């Protein structure tokens, strides 16, 4: 009995922690995205770039979930600033990403900002 109550409380807390994320999100499923209203003006160009380039290979849902949970949804690996940098390098090496160093740097800076905001 006590175990089931404790388990229910832990599940409720873990769900509410994700729901309380500082980064606002719109949509559900494949249409999930960061709310454009919650992106500061200085990051808007990077956000627009991400909306064009990153969705060529995957939905924004994967990125939103990674930022919200701190885990990459496919691999389950940590999604932190170090991982963001590694993903940036990976994208730079992918010819299909169609991104140059500056574009990747801008998206990495944006993702780091979103991670920081989510941690508040």
Out of 7-11, 19-23, 72-76, pick the least confident: 7-11
pLDDT category at 98 given cuts 50, 70, 90 is confident
CB within 8 A of 111, min separation 6: which ones? 63, 67, 84
- 114 vs 23, more confident: 114
Q: Which of 74, 52, 78, 63 is nearest to 25 (CA)?
A: 63
Q: Please give the residue that has the higher pLDDT: either 5 or 50.
A: 50
pLDDT at 81 over 80: yes
User: Given pLDDT bands bounded at 50, 70 and 90, which one contains residue 8?
Assistant: low
Which phi and psi angles does 110 have, rounded to 5°? Answer: -60, -45
- The pTM for the full model equals 0.77
């Amino acid at each position: 009995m006590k175990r089931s109550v404790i388990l229910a409380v832990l599940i409720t807390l873990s769900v509410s922690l994700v729901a309380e994320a500082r980064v606002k999100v719109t949509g559900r499923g494949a249409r999930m995205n960061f709310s454009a209203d919650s992106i500061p003006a200085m990051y808007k160009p990077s956000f627009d770039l991400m909306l064009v380039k990153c969705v060529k290979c995957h939905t924004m849902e994967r990125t939103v979930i990674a930022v919200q949970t701190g885990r990459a949804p496919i691999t389950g690996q940590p999604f932190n600033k170090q991982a963001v940098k590694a993903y940036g390098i990976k994208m730079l090496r992918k010819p299909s990403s169609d991104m140059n160093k500056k574009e990747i740097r801008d998206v990495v800076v944006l993702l780091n900002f979103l991670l920081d905001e989510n941690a508040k």
